[in-house]
Structure 1
């Protein structure tokens, strides 16, 4: 039997405040069923600070449960925009310990 490297949770469409409950439910379900979850954001068309706050909260819950949650690179443009404009990170400084695992390439921070 092959060991699971990580489960991929694909986010798509509007991941902002209007759909925060769906985002949180998806994160909760993925972490409830898997020890390591990579989040693919490439199909996200809209995001806001609520999106990032939900991801941070899920990350903290994962850590507390001995699980791992990270974002796969490259990040969707709307999420990159929130991260930089809200001051979570600068275009040249992706927080690798949370936003991407060490074995993933960094996002395209133009």
Structure 2
């Protein structure tokens, strides 16, 4: 999957802001059943938040990278212990890229 540019990432973060985490990964870490659960959730909700119950941020980052590789999906970001994941294959409203998006009112 091609990584989105900074404008697309900002749009995805904006879209994800009101969402609540749908899946929680416990302190024991990531297993194959949880990967399958994330894969299934992304099929119906292309933008998804996952709460990680780890002890440190490095572990949460590692879990995010492992999920992005094994699902496959795009890791939009991590805020505290909440990961935001995105799967563009199932999105009916993809983020506006550099060519599209909202028009800005340029007044001088």
Specify if TM > 0.5.
no
TM range (shorter): 0.3 to 0.5
Higher relative contact order (Cα pairs below 8 Å, separated by 6+ residues) = 2
Tell me the TM-score normalised to structure 2 length.
0.40
Structure with bigger gyration radius: 2
